[in-house]
């Protein structure tokens, strides 16, 4: 029924259609029409309602256009097989299922909405419909398991470079892999991996980018911590353009990494980070570490100098240091 209503509005662009006419053409009650309109509103359709005139379709929800995405890609592997969903629990979960059924490297899972989006350290990831880029990428890097932290940094570099290329703004990487604008988070990355014989078998890179969220799309408790590319740039973010830029950038860096190792990636990460040479406070599984972030080591770990002069190396953790420019 929703499709039939939409068809009527699409045949009459910019026109008001009365509830009475809709109920006649759809052979249902006015109450049923109203319920369908409410349903469509929940899916992101915007209607103007004027008494005596009826309803006018003002805006359709922004949906990721896979044909457009494919035309913008210049990759060989990444994003060549895309699974698109209107709504999922979490694209990470879908990706794990696909790995189990033999999905190839480069397979991308994208959803308009996640109802149980996962963040790092067991947190939830707020993923409203049609507003962000919620995606998981399946990788099969040919590296030993203890190199996994390098991959985290590599993905953050690719994403940061892609954003800067398409929407020039001051984006920085907060160790290990949050992207910030003006001290507030615009993107988070979650890496989940499986290994066999000390080598990585699969990595599922979950990437959340707050593209077109407005302030009212966030719960109030996130207002001072999170922002979106759209809020910061003042323009609507072209999601296909950004996804393609990211995959193009990532494939080039991923190839470079397999050819030349971590050294060139470390230089790129250092150029984009907002963590080094500043105080950090990191929550790890073994407790809180506070000190000065000194450098990135050969494996991708963060060297932190403690107040007593000792240095500890962190490979993961929650860095809750507030960033000040
Ligand atoms: C973080 O805590 O900063 C990581 C957030 C990762 C969110 C993305 S959105 C797509 C993918 N699916 C999920 O459930 N989580 C990741």
Q: What is the mean pLDDT of residues 302-319?
A: 94
Report how far residue 84's alpha carbon sits from residue 110's, in angstroms, rounded to the nearest whole number: 5
Name the band, by pLDDT with cuts 50, 70 and 90, for residue 45: confident
Residue 183 in this model has a pLDDT that exceeds 90: yes
Residue 323 above 80 pLDDT?
no
On whether the CB atoms of residues 131 and 212 are closer than 8 A, the answer is yes
Q: Residue 293: its pLDDT value, please?
A: 97
pLDDT value at 314 more than 70: yes
Whether the per-residue pLDDT at 1 is higher than 80: the answer is: no
Measured in angstroms, how far is the CA atom of residue 120 from the centroid of ligand 1? 7
Pairing between strand 184-196 and 178-181? antiparallel
* 250 upstream amide cis, omega within 30 of 0: no
Residue 195's pLDDT is: 87
pLDDT digits (tens, 9 = 90+) for 237-250: 999 999 999 999 99
Q: Which atom of ligand 1 is nearest to the CA of 91?
A: 12
More confident of the two residues 280 and 317: 280
Distance (angstroms) between ligand 1 centre and the Cα of 109 equals: 12
Q: Whose CA is nearest to atom 11 of ligand 1?
A: 206
- Run of H or E residues at 138: strand 133-139
Pocket lining: 208 vs ligand 1, CB cutoff 6 Å: yes
Q: What's the mean pLDDT when you consider all of the chain?
A: 94
Neighbouring-strand partners of residue 298: none
Burial (CB count within 10 angstroms: exposed 0-12, middle 13-18, buried 19+), residue 25 = middle
Please report the pLDDT score of residue 324 as a whole number.
57
The model's confidence at residue 96, banded by pLDDT at 50, 70 and 90, is: very high
Q: What is the pLDDT of residues 21-31, one digit of tens each?
A: 999 999 999 99
pLDDT of amino acid 154? 97
The pLDDT of residue 197 is: 82
The mean pLDDT of 249-253, rounded to a whole number, is 98
**How is residue 301 annotated by DSSP?**
P
Where does the pLDDT of residue 230 fall: very low under 50, low under 70, confident under 90, or very high at 90 and above? Answer: very high
The pLDDT tens digits of the residues spanning 102-142 come to 999 999 999 999 999 999 988 999 999 999 999 999 999 99
Per-range mean pLDDT, top range of 2-11, 12-21, 79-88: 79-88
pLDDT of residue 177: 87
Helix, strand, or coil (residue 249) = helix
- What pLDDT does 285 receive? 86
CA dihedral (205, 210, 212, 214) in degrees, to 10, reads 160
Tell me the best of 123, 128, 134 to mutate to test the pocket of ligand 1, counting ligand atoms within 8 Å of each CB and taking the most. Answer: 134
* CB distance 90 to ligand 1 below 6 Å: yes
User: 323 CA distance to ligand 1 centroid (A)?
Assistant: 21
Nearest CA to ligand 1 atom 9: 208
């Amino acid at each position: 029924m929703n499709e039939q209503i939409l068809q009527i509005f699409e045949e009459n662009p910019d026109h008001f259609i009365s509830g009475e006419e809709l109920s006649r053409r759809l052979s249902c009650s006015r109450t049923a029409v109203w319920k369908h309109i409410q349903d469509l509103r929940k899916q992101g359709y915007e209607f103007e309602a004027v008494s005596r005139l009826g309803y006018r379709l003002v805006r359709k929800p922004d949906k990721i256009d896979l044909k457009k995405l494919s035309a913008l890609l210049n990759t060989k592997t990444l994003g060549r097989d895309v699974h698109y969903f209107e709504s999922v629990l979490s694209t990470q979960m879908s990706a794990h299922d696909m790995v189990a059924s033999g999905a190839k490297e480069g397979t991308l899972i994208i959803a308009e909405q996640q109802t149980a989006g996962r963040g790092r350290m067991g947190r939830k990831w707020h993923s409203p419909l049609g507003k962000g880029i919620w995606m998981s990428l399946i990788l099969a890097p040919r590296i030993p398991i203890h190199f996994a932290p390098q991959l985290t940094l590599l993905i953050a570099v690719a994403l940061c470079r892609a954003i800067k290329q398409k929407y020039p703004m001051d984006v920085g990487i907060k160790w290990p892999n949050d992207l910030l604008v003006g001290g507030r988070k615009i993107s988070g990355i979650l890496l989940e991996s499986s290994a066999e014989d000390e080598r990585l078998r699969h990595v599922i890179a979950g990437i959340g980018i707050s593209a077109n969220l407005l302030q009212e799309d966030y719960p109030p408790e996130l207002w001072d911590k999170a922002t979106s590319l759209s809020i910061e740039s003042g323009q609507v973010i072209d999601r296909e353009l950004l996804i393609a830029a990211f995959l193009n950038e990532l494939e080039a860096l991923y190839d470079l990494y397999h050819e030349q190792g971590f050294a060139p990636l470390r230089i790129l990460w250092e150029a984009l980070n907002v963590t080094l040479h500043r105080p950090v406070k990191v929550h790890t599984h073994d407790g809180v570490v506070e000190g000065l972030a000194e450098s990135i080591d050969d494996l991708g770990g963060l060297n932190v100098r403690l107040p007593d002069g000792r240095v500890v190396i962190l490979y993961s953790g929650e860095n809750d240091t507030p960033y000040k420019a």
